[in-house]
Amino acid sequence: MASKVDSSNLDTGRRMDWGRIGAYLLLLLFAVVYAGPLLMLVNTSLKTLPEFMKNATSPTTSLNFKNFTDAWTKADFPRYLTNTLLYTISATAIYLVCAVFVAFPLARGYVRGAKYLLTLFVIALFLPVALIPQFQLMLTLGLYNNPFGYVMLFLVNPIGVIILYNYMKTLPKELDEAAAMDGCGYLRFVVWIVFPLSRPAIATVAVLHAIGIWNELILPTIYLPSKNLYPITRGMIVFQGVYGSNWPTLAAAVMIMMLPMVVIFLILQRYIVSGLTAGAVKG
């Protein structure tokens, strides 16, 4: 009897091991598919042009970091990066403040018809961007080819409000009652209590919003015709038109463009995971 039990446990352990190995192999396959193009980009950025023309897909035999210095100087990256940082930081900061002050009263039900208002934000996720009315409005307000007008384009994003709403539903309402009994005002309560407690959701929205602004190409092409106001994506189009045949330098320029967002994502990834999953537990 004991031998039968031991053999059944052994068979179960083997099946579990095979299942775990299969799961790891599947994850490894997904990692290769996801990281493959990125590794090819890194490999291309470290090649010389003759080496790339000889065999574009072979591993590099030399670390040619000169491509990065050439891309930095020839693409006018300092100006483009400065413009992009200003647009991204200012638009993200303003949006986060507005989104928190919109999401919190909706999550608490302090606004009449809060659920219906949230439904409007959900519907807005599926609506196309009204470029023609938006363009006419920018012209009428004198915000065309204006960095302030360009920043204002990114102050409306329903997904951030929805994420914050779902997260703030998990915050205990006893905090509101305790703050009211202590004489804490609404503005002070949101700034000193809600903001710190909503840090994971705020980090999630900040990263998603910043990546969207950083990678935006259509809006700067339409609303920022002046070269001095180009963000880095628009500058990359100009650089690609001039150095399109020099693929290693172009790959290095793409690496420079994506590096800041990769660093920010790696720093805030633990907040992003918790911010996206917290709202699914309750509320």
Query: Could you report the per-residue pLDDT of 107-153, keeping only the tens digit for each?
Result: 998 888 888 998 999 898 888 888 888 999 999 999 999 999 999 99
pLDDT at site 147? 93
Distant-in-sequence, close-in-space partners of 67: CB < 8 Å, separation ≥ 6: 45, 46, 47, 248, 249, 251, 252
Could you tell me which of 222, 207, 203, 236 has the C-alpha nearest to residue 100? Answer: 203
Count of alpha carbons within 13 angstroms of residue 163, beta-carbon side: 26
Residues 242, 248: contact at Cβ < 8 Å? Answer: no
pLDDT at 219 over 70: yes
pLDDT at 260 over 60: yes
Compute the distance between CA of residue 152 and CA of residue 282 in angstroms, rounded to an integer.
Answer: 33
- pTM to 2 decimal places: 0.80
Which residue, chain included where needed, has tokens 């208002």?
117
Which residue, chain included where needed, has tokens 């920010």?
264
Could you tell me which of 78, 57, 64, 65 has the C-alpha nearest to residue 257? Answer: 78
Q: How many residues does the chain have?
A: 283
Tell me the two tokens of residue 281.
Answer: 């537990």
3-state DSSP call for residue 134?
helix
Tell me the two tokens of residue 152.
Answer: 């204002």
At 156-211, the pLDDT tens digits run: 889 999 999 988 988 888 888 888 888 888 889 998 999 998 888 898 899 889 98
Helices 66-74 and 232-243, packing angle to 10 deg? 110
pLDDT at site 276? 60
